[in-house]
Chains A and B, each alone.
Chain A
Amino acid sequence: MAEYQPPLREYQFIYHELFDPARTQALPGCEEFDGDLVNAVLEEAGKLYTEVLLPLNRSGDEEGCHFEDGEVRTPAGFKQAYQQYVEAGWTGFACDPEYGGQGLPNAVTLLVQEMLCACNLSFGMYPGLSHGAYDAIEAHGDDELKALYLPKLVDGSWSGTMCLTEPQSGTDLGLVRTKAVPQEGGSYKLTGTKIFISAGEHDLTENIVHLVLARLPDAPAGIKGISLFVVPKFLPDANGEAGEGNGVSCGAIEHKMGIKASSTCVMNFDDATGWLIGQPNKGMRAMFTFMNTARLGVGVQGIGIGDAAYQGAVAYARDRLQGRALKGPKSPDKPADSLLVHPDVRRMLLTQRAYVEGIRALGSWIAREIDVYERSTDKAEAQAAEDLAALLIPVFKAFGTDVGFDCANLGVQVFGGHGYIREHGMEQYVRDARITQLYEGTNGIQALDLVGRKMSAHFGRYMRRFFQPVAAYIEERQDNEQLAEFIQPLAKAFGRLQRASAWIAQNGMGNPDEAAAASSDYLRLFGLTALAYLWTRMAEVSLDKLDGEERRFYQAKLDTARFFMQRLLPQNSGLFSAILAGSKSMMAFEDEAF
């Protein structure tokens, strides 16, 4: 059941206690975001999202989007909800004040996004894509494009899309065929078909700004010949308002497993007028600069759904009376005990909880590093932060959405047969979560990014930003008896991660199949180890506060940390063995035998 409450106390713990809020506040442009303001922002967002967006989650899923005569209508209530969302200023919360935004640091917006995803993932797609378009134009557009498009994207009157995929060109964007022909006056005419375009067509905004990957007539073949263009649905008139129609049309919408209230469109560009963003043939480079935040955003979807599923499962397990505790009745006055008495139910709930809180900490860590590299004036500090974010983002995206999906699935399981019934809302989380493992680079691609690009970059410099501080953290606490139950398993997992990294570096050099074959297991090993580190830190913070008023809150943190260390982290040794077994068992298998 949609039992979601914004986990504001959790957010405060992460924001103010686990990490140092002063480091974020000291960054240029963040001075005014003190603790009170941050708490107020989170509270306001949580209120609006749960009041307005959460009730539309299931109805939107049931109704889906409508496609009639080339136009897409979003489910009932979405348009009004979008108006409320816009009026409250949430379309510009993460944007530069220069264009009308509020300039919130990523450390805050990540948590706001999480609530949005937890309440209504489909709805979140629309402003989410607008923000992707905003980022691309802001980073690579010229001043004219920025002045024309950014304020509209920030105030939410226009929305955005990212048009990358074509029928023959998915993961391999070098195969893109959409062509762009230069015109007098500096514009281009684009022709081609794009598929899987989220928010490609809808009725929420006055105009839709498509960012389109296409090929110039003289472009080199492959990935080095791709350029990025902005192509609006309606051409801006002299006043910068949506004017006459452009050669952009929606050919169909997809019928999907989940996120049904998000329109996923086939977009046809037929001599559509567009303008180049950034340098010719450097479209991929432009894409990569905001790929980081986009992938961070998808990882957050994993947390949001995971938390919603957890909260629903907890509420159900508490109320549902079924069976008796194995060691004797817990509620003899009632016809049966609640589901909470059953060890396996507790296993599932704690698994959800330990993953959700752990992944949330990982995402927040990365968001803080992104804030540093986007804003810090200290070059070395910014470089280190960028390295760390680059390293951890594929881990966060893939591991976060994998465990997010697992949590959604466990949510169904806790409900038993009722979980399979639509009106309880739990199965929707499974269907909605499934896409997060696929888009913005499938999780397999994230794993390849990690072992192929991030591990080897600058002879392992990105790796240093994670491994050296974690090693130092462990070293400093080796003799800390209170923390021993956390530090010891962390140290073991960390040692395995080190050895697995060295093994992949060594064996992958001569045979890239070895690195690729190890990649998904390695990414999961990395994710588990990162969470073990963060859970140890969360336990360390909580240990100091067990005597206070919020004893129960901190005790629960400590106990969840214990559960993680004892029941989830041990997967690392299996993953380690699998990695070291090498690629042979899969690569030697004969193709014909499949």
Chain B
Amino acid sequence: MIADGYTGRKGKGGFYRINREGGGKVKESINLKTGEYSVSLKPSLESVDAAKLGLRAMLQHSDEGGQYAWRVLSKVLSYAASLVPEIHDQIHAVDEAMRLGYAWKYGPFELIDRIGGAWFAERLRTEGMAVPPLLEAAGDEPFYRTENGLLQYRTTEGEYLDLPRPEGVLLLADIKRRSKPLAKNSSACLWDIGDGVVCLEFTSKMNTMDPMIMGMIRKAVELIPAMGFKAMVIYNEGTNFSAGANLGLLVYAANLAMWEESKQLVKEGQDTYMALKYAPFPVVGAPSGLALGGGCEILLHCDALQAHAETYVGLVEVGVGVIPGWGGCKELLTRWTVNKRRPGGPMPPVIKSFETISVATVAKSAAEAGDYMFLREGDGITMNRDRLLADAKAKVLSMVDGYAPPEPVEVKLPGPTARVAMEMGVDSFVKLGKVTPHDQVVANGLIEVLSGGDTDMTESLSEQALLDLELDQFMRLARHPDTLARMEHILETGKPLRN
């Protein structure tokens, strides 16, 4: 291929190429037998569908995918099983190594448990493959089991021992194994994690924020003092802390022209986050992975954060054509306003907030999140994911004694004079072609909020006044067809639409 000039996009094409004939963009792939390009087809394997019923269903499937999965997994898993006790005395160390070192979601012994060890051994036997002694010895017994709410592993001697957790490691998964939630609905749970601390866990798809989560937060605010608890951490063990608000719900409500209900959805979020902020007990947010949009705004309403080092925080609402509507604009504005090290004058908080929100800035680490006021002084960062909950719990407990809810903040904002200047700035970017027409519409909505609406520097605006501005602009944008086009596009393709 290289000799013939098929060197990739800048040559005649590579294994793939983009065909732009006819004005479109068609992704094509090379046929390895003929060398001809044809339209890339998305393979559809029945075994992949079957995998929804579990890994074993995939391995049992006779199509190419099923065969491939079996050939790879049968060898990898029996190899791994043959290495204990050679490389380590116990299986859990191998599983942990594969999870941490190779980013496997489950270690090899956990996978064997999911497939069924006895079935796995039997199939290896039927196909004339060697069955590792450890697997043979286990017979019908799993490598892991839960006994009295504790996770146990099977030792090489065939007995079960409690899985050791090092000091400073606290896992919600362990707590969930041995206790029942204090409260539960389809999107969230409250857990008693000991010492008077409650953990709020999101359980919705991709941990998106929805009315059920809002309901659970309001419940927590009532329940925690009533039941004698002292503090709350917001934490979960999903891949991402929260991908943001449930956009599908919002789009559907807008498509049905349920404007009152949509508005209520936003208003309810605002009220809930305010109730969280001014709750009579300390709250620590403990994010890991993505914490975007509404998932970022909830963090902004916590007393403090204990973030995993790999946390990606950002207010990305403009990407889908709206502005932060659950107090994100308000929090950044007030945080910059009260920041002692900021430059003087009325404009810096407005400009700083605008710069962050208008381009959907996402901090690339917990450390960087401080640059944008997503993290404040005194917030903590934890390097080891397994220690995040323990650190958050310690932090919130340290705040219990003498805790008082934060003082309400008032801000003075420049109003229309600043708005006009900033709008002109955006306009010049439009003329340069750096900003799309709808970007401008969204940016102007954001400016309206951040400049304080119809106000001037003599007037003090309460947090509620800022929230009202957010709500108005959010609803105005949510009715815009270009916003709905952005939302629909990201829901369907996972990619932003630049309209």
Contact = CB atoms under 8 A, between A and B. Distances in A.
A463 interface: yes
A483 interface: no
Contact of B251 (A459, A471, A472): A459
Interface stretch (A28-36, A93-101, A498-506): A498-506
Interface residues of A, number: 15
A58 B259 CA distance: 53
A460 B491 CA distance: 12
Looking at chain A's contact residues, the main secondary structure is helix
Contacts of B488: 458-459, 461
B492 A458 contact: yes
Nearest to B492: A458
Contacts of B248: 459
A266 B180 CA distance: 65
B253 A502 contact: yes
Given A458-B488, A459-B251, A468 B257 contact: yes
A506 to B, nearest CB: 9
B429 interface: no
Nearest to A456: B252
Interface in A423-479: 458-461, 463-464, 467-468, 470-472
B100 interface: no
B438 to A, nearest CB: 13
B252 to A, nearest CB: 5
Contacts of A464: 254-257, 484
B251, B252, B487, B491: which has the most chain A beta carbons within 10 Å?
B252
Nearest to B255: A460
B257 A498 contact: yes
A467 B257 contact: yes
B347 interface: no
B492 A460 contact: no
Interface in A462-521: 463-464, 467-468, 470-472, 498, 501-502, 505
Interface string A240-267: 0000000000000000000000000000
B258 interface: yes
A460 B256 contact: yes
A406 B447 CA distance: 58
Of B248, B251, B257, B488, most buried by chain A (CB within 10 Å of CB) is B257
B253 A463 contact: no
Most buried by B among A459, A463, A467, A505: A459
Contacts of B258: 498, 502
A505 B487 CA distance: 18
Interface string B241-277: 0000000100111111111010000000000000000
A501 B492 contact: no
A456 to B, nearest CB: 9
B490 to A, nearest CB: 10
A343 to B, nearest CB: 38
B483 to A, nearest CB: 12
A461 B259 CA distance: 15
Interface in B28-46: none
A490 to B, nearest CB: 13
Given A459-B251, A459-B492, A501 B256 contact: yes
Which has the most chain A C-beta neighbours within 10 Å: B256, B488, B492? B256
A502 B256 CA distance: 8
B213 to A, nearest CB: 16
A54 B316 CA distance: 66
B41 to A, nearest CB: 13
A99 B176 CA distance: 72
Interface residues of B, number: 16
Interface in B447-499: 484, 487-488, 491-492
B91 to A, nearest CB: 37
B256 A463 contact: yes
A463 B259 contact: no
B252 A471 contact: no
A115 to B, nearest CB: 36
A470 B253 contact: no
Contact of A459 (B255, B257, B261): B255
A56 to B, nearest CB: 48
Interface in A110-142: none
B255 A461 contact: yes
Contacts of B252: 459-460, 502, 505
Contacts of A468: 255, 257
Contact of A467 (B251, B255, B261, B492): B255
A83 B369 CA distance: 81
Contacts of B251: 459-460
A80 B260 CA distance: 62
Given A459-B488, A459-B492, A471 B257 contact: yes
Contact of A463 (B255, B261, B487, B492): B255
A509 B452 CA distance: 41
A470 B255 CA distance: 12
B40 to A, nearest CB: 17
Contacts of B255: 459-461, 463-464, 467-468
A501 B252 CA distance: 10
A460 B256 CA distance: 8
Nearest to A463: B255
A391 B185 CA distance: 34
Nearest to B251: A459
A276 B253 CA distance: 44
A164 to B, nearest CB: 26
Contacts of B261: 502
A471 B487 CA distance: 21
A273 to B, nearest CB: 30
Contacts of B491: 459
B320 to A, nearest CB: 12
B160 to A, nearest CB: 37
B487 A467 contact: no
A461 B252 CA distance: 8
A458 B251 CA distance: 10
B256 A459 contact: no
Contacts of A471: 257, 259
A470 B257 contact: yes
A367 B99 CA distance: 59
Contacts of B256: 460, 463-464, 467, 498, 501-502
Nearest to A465: B255
A498 B254 CA distance: 11
A498 B256 CA distance: 6
A472 B484 CA distance: 17
A470 B258 CA distance: 11
A458 B488 CA distance: 6
Nearest to B259: A471
Contacts of A459: 248, 251-252, 255, 487-488, 491-492
A459 B252 CA distance: 6
Contacts of A470: 257
Contacts of A502: 252-253, 256, 258, 261
Nearest to A467: B257
A459 B493 CA distance: 12
23 contacts: A458-B488, A459-B248, A459-B488, A459-B491, A459-B492, A460-B252, A460-B255, A460-B256, A461-B484, A463-B255, A463-B256, A464-B257, A464-B484, A467-B255, A467-B257, A468-B255, A470-B257, A472-B257, A498-B256, A498-B257, A498-B258, A502-B256, A502-B258
Interface of A: 458-461, 463-464, 467-468, 470-472, 498, 501-502, 505
Given A459-B251, A459-B252, A472-B257, 16 more contacts: A459-B255, A459-B488, A460-B251, A460-B256, A461-B255, A461-B484, A463-B256, A464-B254, A464-B484, A467-B256, A468-B255, A471-B257, A471-B259, A498-B258, A502-B256, A505-B252
- For the complex of A and B, 6 pairs with smallest distance between CB atoms: A471-B257, A460-B255, A464-B255, A467-B257, A460-B252, A459-B251
